[in-house]
Chains A and B, each alone.
Chain A
Amino acid sequence: MAVEALPRSPRANPFARIGATLLDVLQVLGEAASLFMASVRSISAAPADRHRFVVQMVRVGTDTLWIGALLSLFVGMVLVVQAAEQVRDVTQEILGPIVGLAMTKELGPVLMAFLLAGRAGSAMAAELGSMTVYDEINALRTMDIDPVRFLVVPRFLAATIALPILILYADFIGVWGGAAVVALDPAITIPVNTYFDRMLEWVHFSDFVVGMSKGAIFGMIASIVPCAFGLRTRGGTEGIATSTTAAVVWSFILILVFDFLIVRVTFALG
């Protein structure tokens, strides 16, 4: 018996798959950019929504404060141990600048942004995804309440303001984690005073400004991307899980892409 060949699904064609993926990526970026613009336009209404903003600030804080402290402490400690081994034959006096500059300019902002995207961002995507799937967003629309103003702007502002503060906090704890290793590890021969003195010679106020500016931008990404994924959720519980995962992955990717761009532009500008 002759078997009739089934028509080949366009998705089976590798070029079609690449094209579809590319279109998906562009659509996600477009939706996130459009949501960002809509949020910025709605910020003027924020004073009336300060209660929701405060609630989101508290959520972001409670989601990230303790685990952020733990993360920063151990990152500061491991930086000293790793760097001490590498500079053993040169001088351990540069341990302070290494930890200080790494924490303020790079590790503090990126780690805290990842933490915010992973904890608070995933919660935002899941919450908005659930609200989308169960018609709560549509219910808001039928009540002439703009979901962007009501739901996205408080989260966007909370993350954008909270992340720079969390980065300062992470920098402080990371530096003290490094200091603890300097004080207690017998393999490290410099005194803690030298660690701090050298750090203060090298780390300037502008380094904190760069780190905190990055934090504000990463905060926007870590809130807008999850909110965009939450609002485009389709298909019940499975859809919420898929959106949440995708929101975290895309937040991580965009944070690193913007990190590179900011560093490149900052260096180019001297």
Chain B
Amino acid sequence: MVESAERRRGVGVELRGLRKTYNGQGVLRGVDLVVEPGELLAIVGQSGTGKSVLLRQIIGLEQADAGQITVGGIALDRYRATPHDEKSFRVAMVFQNAALLGSLTVDENIGLRLREHGRQSTAEITAIIHRVLEQVELAGTEAKLPSELSGGMRKRVAIARALAIDPELILYDEPTADLDPLLTEQIGHLIQRIRDARGTTQIVVTHNLPLAGAIADRIAVLAEGRIAECLTPAELPHARHPLTRAFLRASALQA
């Protein structure tokens, strides 16, 4: 269970006219999207349509060709240029393959950012690591290396690493890719609990529409480089865009 730490609102995210081209091919062709503080937004779309690219733009790993990104009311470039200690909010990302550093233990991976930048004492950092590992139900794995963990456990450690800095915004890139349905459900519940307990804004990129419908406040469908439609889970059965309908049909077949 996620501890009911003091509930804080997350930060909002606003994308305006975001464009990105690779080798002359437009991947993002004018993405407009507003994510409210504390909202859990799922972005769905076919593979290779730029969902991950969108996340990388939001966290500043890639530069957009055109358009504006505002996080927490601050232009992304300004936020990135702000020294770590002076940032008024924190952003974390959970990568598709967890991206844990293979040579570091679970404890070292989770505590890495705190030890590199934090002002906390060793005892405080140990307590934080212990707490976030309990939240992802992996207490006792501190000394293990990522290679000793299953795919699902690695994903949860990656989420614990994100939680350790108590972020106002968490971005997830395909958090349930390659996981079986039970682990997918487990990760989905964990993401929901983070929203309920902390009020963190979360953006989840996935091609798993049932998961998106089960956990998200809204679902944005990315098609042909734009947000084709944005729906609540209740509106999902009445979706108009052909891609959303195709996803619904495919999900029904899988079920």
Is B101 in contact with A139, judged by CB distance below 8 angstroms? yes
A138 to B165, CA, bound (A): 17
From A130, A142, A145, B61 is in contact (CB under 8 Å) with A142
A256 within 8 A of B: no
From A135, A138, A141, A143, B112 is in contact (CB under 8 Å) with A143
Please name all residues of chain B whose beta carbon is closer than 8 Å to the beta carbon of A145 when the two chains form the complex: 112-113, 116-117
| CB-contacts of A117-144 with B (<8 A) | 130-131, 134-136, 138-144
Is B59 in contact with A142, judged by CB distance below 8 angstroms? yes
Is A143 in contact with B116, judged by CB distance below 8 angstroms? yes
| CB-contacts of A233-256 with B (<8 A) | none
Is A143 in contact with B113, judged by CB distance below 8 angstroms? yes
A145 to B109, CA, bound (A): 13
Interface size on A, residues (CB 8 A): 14
What does DSSP make chain A's interface, helix, strand, loop or mixed?
Answer: helix
Is A131 in contact with B112, judged by CB distance below 8 angstroms? no
Binds A, one of B89-97, B137-145, B219-227: B89-97
Given A131-B101, A144-B84: A138 and B61 within 8 A (CB)? Answer: yes
B209 within 8 A of A: no
A136 to B98, CA, bound (A): 8
Please name all residues of chain A whose beta carbon is closer than 8 Å to the beta carbon of B56 when the two chains form the complex: 138
A254 to chain B: closest CB distance in Å? 27
Is B91 in contact with A142, judged by CB distance below 8 angstroms? yes
Given A135-B95, A135-B96: A141 and B101 within 8 A (CB)? Answer: no
A150 to B116, CA, bound (A): 10
A134 to B154, CA, bound (A): 13
A150 to B95, CA, bound (A): 20
- Which chain B residue shows the least CB distance to A149? B116
Residue of A141, A142, A150 most packed against chain B (CB within 10 A): A142
Please name all residues of chain A whose beta carbon is closer than 8 Å to the beta carbon of B181 when the two chains form the complex: none
A105 to B223, CA, bound (A): 64
Interface size bucket, B side?
10 to 19
B102 within 8 A of A: yes
From B92, B99, B100, B113, A138 is in contact (CB under 8 Å) with B99
A141 to B113, CA, bound (A): 10
A30 to chain B: closest CB distance in Å? 19
Is A144 in contact with B113, judged by CB distance below 8 angstroms? yes
B172 to chain A: closest CB distance in Å? 12
Given A131-B101, A134-B99, A136-B99: A142 and B112 within 8 A (CB)? Answer: no
Is B61 in contact with A141, judged by CB distance below 8 angstroms? yes
A143 to B95, CA, bound (A): 12
| CB-contacts of B69-117 with A (<8 A) | 84, 91-93, 95-97, 99-102, 112-113, 116-117
- Which chain B residue shows the least CB distance to A130? B102
Is A138 in contact with B95, judged by CB distance below 8 angstroms? yes
From B92, B100, B116, A142 is in contact (CB under 8 Å) with B92
Please name all residues of chain B whose beta carbon is closer than 8 Å to the beta carbon of A135 when the two chains form the complex: 95-97, 99
Is B101 in contact with A142, judged by CB distance below 8 angstroms? no
Please name all residues of chain A whose beta carbon is closer than 8 Å to the beta carbon of B100 when the two chains form the complex: 136, 139
Please name all residues of chain A whose beta carbon is closer than 8 Å to the beta carbon of B97 when the two chains form the complex: 134-135
Please name all residues of chain B whose beta carbon is closer than 8 Å to the beta carbon of A142 when the two chains form the complex: 59, 61, 91-93
Is B99 in contact with A139, judged by CB distance below 8 angstroms? yes
A141 to B56, CA, bound (A): 11
Please name all residues of chain B whose beta carbon is closer than 8 Å to the beta carbon of A140 when the two chains form the complex: 101
A41 to chain B: closest CB distance in Å? 17
Please name all residues of chain A whose beta carbon is closer than 8 Å to the beta carbon of B117 when the two chains form the complex: 143-145
- Which chain A residue shows the least CB distance to B56? A138
| CB-contacts of B54-70 with A (<8 A) | 56, 59, 61
B97 to chain A: closest CB distance in Å? 6
A125 to chain B: closest CB distance in Å? 15
B104 to chain A: closest CB distance in Å? 10
- Which chain B residue shows the least CB distance to A49? B116
| CB-contacts of A138-191 with B (<8 A) | 138-145, 150
A120 to chain B: closest CB distance in Å? 15
Q: Please list the residues of chain A having a beta carbon within 8 angstroms of any beta carbon in chain B.
A: 130-131, 134-136, 138-145, 150
Please list 14 pairs of residues, one from A and one from B, whose beta carbons are closer than 8 Å in the complex, sorted by A's number. A131-B101, A135-B95, A136-B101, A136-B102, A138-B61, A138-B95, A140-B101, A142-B61, A142-B91, A143-B92, A143-B113, A144-B84, A144-B113, A145-B116
Instruction: Give 8 nearest A-B pairs by CB, closest first.
Output: A139-B99, A135-B99, A143-B113, A135-B95, A144-B84, A142-B93, A136-B99, A145-B116
- Beyond A139-B100, A144-B84, 12 extra complex contacts between A and B, CB < 8 Å: A134-B97, A135-B95, A136-B100, A138-B99, A139-B99, A139-B101, A142-B93, A143-B112, A143-B113, A144-B117, A145-B116, A150-B116
